[in-house]
């Protein structure tokens, strides 16, 4: 009976990790596609390299590598791979929880840094040294129906057409709300969804750790698999 349960655990772990591996490949492929076909997140100096495509690439690489270790370790009943899989999941969970705590504790400080960085990005766009920065501001202002950091006066006398709430004529009507306020509202509205996603991810990681350690202990007791 115990052997059947452990076999079931082994193949369940293989199937789950294979599914995660395929998801990681999809995320990685989508990140490559966005990197090649879209030019985003030059909005602020700090976000020039920390953009959505790079985040997807990093996430895809991490998911594929970790899930591959779990799949191979369970399939081959390799204690070394299972222990590595367990430790990687443990460190990833610690990183996620640490980041969540830092976001909660330093929420005001992060808001100040975001304001400063947006202002720096706006000054760069006003100088018109980079068409990429200008196009990203246009994209942000179109999607969030905002203008500037605090309001349209941030642009001075050269307000872009993306700030218009309607057709830009001789007397254009600009969006009154700044992009900083709209971004804060967006993050606050999605805070609950993000929190639930982090909790679900942590639960999945804890289950993966439990499965890996259970299989590891069984292999150690039975003398199967490769020795450490």
| Residue 227 pLDDT | 44
Residues 196 and 95 in one domain: yes
DSSP 183-224: HHHHHHHTHHHHHHHHHHHHHHHHHHHHHHHHHHHHHHHHT-
Contact, 82 vs 224, CB < 8 A?
Answer: no
Residues 60 and 149 in one domain: no
- In a domain, residue 10? The reply is yes
Place of tokens 């998801």: 23
Residues 84 and 97 in one domain: yes
- In a domain, residue 130? The reply is yes
- In a domain, residue 115? The reply is no
Give the domain CATH number at 165. 1.10.1450.10
Residues 89 and 192 in one domain: yes
| Full pLDDT tens readout for the chain, 228 residues | 556 777 888 888 898 899 889 988 888 888 787 777 655 445 554 555 556 667 778 888 988 999 999 999 888 888 889 999 999 999 988 988 888 888 778 877 877 888 888 888 788 777 776 666 667 778 778 878 888 888 888 888 888 888 888 777 777 788 888 888 888 888 888 777 877 888 888 888 888 888 888 888 888 777 554 444
Which structural domain range is residue 197 located in?
Answer: 2-108+185-222
**For residue 116, what are the CA distances in angstroms to 109, 111, 186?**
11, 9, 19
- In a domain, residue 114? The reply is no
Residues 7 and 80 in one domain: yes
| Residue 8 pLDDT | 82
Q: What gap in Å lies between CA 5 and CA 215, rounded to an integer?
A: 11
- In a domain, residue 118? The reply is no
- In a domain, residue 56? The reply is yes
Domain count, the chain: 2
Residues 95 and 59 in one domain: yes
Return the SS3 of 123: helix
Place of tokens 């700044």: 178
């Amino acid at each position: 009976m115990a052997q059947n349960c452990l076999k079931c655990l082994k193949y369940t772990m293989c199937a789950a990790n294979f599914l995660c591996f395929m998801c990681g490949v999809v995320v990685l492929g989508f990140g490559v596609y966005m990197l090649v076909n879209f030019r985003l997140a030059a909005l602020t100096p700090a976000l020039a390299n920390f953009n959505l495509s790079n985040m997807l690439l990093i996430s895809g690489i991490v998911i594929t590598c970790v899930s591959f270790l779990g799949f191979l370790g369970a399939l081959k009943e390799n204690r070394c791979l299972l222990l590595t899989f367990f430790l990687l999941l443990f460190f990833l969970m610690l990183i996620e929880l640490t980041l969540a705590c830092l976001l909660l504790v330093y929420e005001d400080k992060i808001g100040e840094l975001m304001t400063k960085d947006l202002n720096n990005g706006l000054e760069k766009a006003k100088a018109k040294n980079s068409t990429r920065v200008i196009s990203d501001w246009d994209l942000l202002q179109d999607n969030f129906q905002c203008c500037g950091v605090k309001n349209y006066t941030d642009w001075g006398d050269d307000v872009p057409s993306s700030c218009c709430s309607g057709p830009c004529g001789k007397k254009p009507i600009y969006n009154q709300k700044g992009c900083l306020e709209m971004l804060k509202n967006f993050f606050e509205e999605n805070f609950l969804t993000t929190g639930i996603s982090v909790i679900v991810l942590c639960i999945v990681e804890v289950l993966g750790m439990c499965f890996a350690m259970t299989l590891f202990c069984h292999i150690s007791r039975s003398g199967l698999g490769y020795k450490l």
